[in-house]
């Protein structure tokens, strides 16, 4: 059995999968108890690096809600440090 390859493409697929799951879970949490909006925002931030539509949403949210975006940025950084030994560089 081959060893699981942990390369750049695997990380991107997992990040996009987790981002999509966060958006779907957030939509479910809008009608059930839970932090629906926060979970949707987390999913948008995870997908913004790879999907232009979510990047536009992210930039509009950063302009409108700077404190919320700062909080989400801190949470995403903690997730990156937890799962990746060398976190990928941010787009500037």
Summarize pLDDT for 50-65 with one digit per residue, the tens. Answer: 889 988 988 888 898 8
Confidence (pTM): 0.63
Q: Which two tokens stand for residue 50?
A: 């790879």
Q: In the chain, what are the domain boundaries?
A: 16-83
DSSP-derived letter for residue 82 is H
Residue 84: which residues within 8 A CB-CB, separation 6 or more? 11
Q: What is the pLDDT of residues 80-90, one digit of tens each?
A: 888 776 655 55
Q: Which two tokens stand for residue 35?
A: 């932090």
CA dihedral 12, 13, 17, 23 (to 10 degrees): 40
């Amino acid at each position: 059995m081959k060893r699981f390859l942990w390369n750049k493409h695997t990380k991107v697929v997992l990040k996009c999968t987790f981002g999509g799951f966060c958006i779907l879970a957030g939509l479910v949490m809008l009608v059930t108890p839970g932090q629906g909006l926060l979970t949707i925002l987390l999913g948008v931030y995870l997908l913004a690096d790879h999907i232009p539509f979510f990047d536009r949403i992210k930039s509009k949210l950063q302009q409108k809600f700077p404190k919320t975006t700062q909080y989400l940025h801190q949470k995403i950084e903690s997730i990156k440090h937890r799962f990746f030994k060398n976190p990928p560089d941010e787009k500037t």
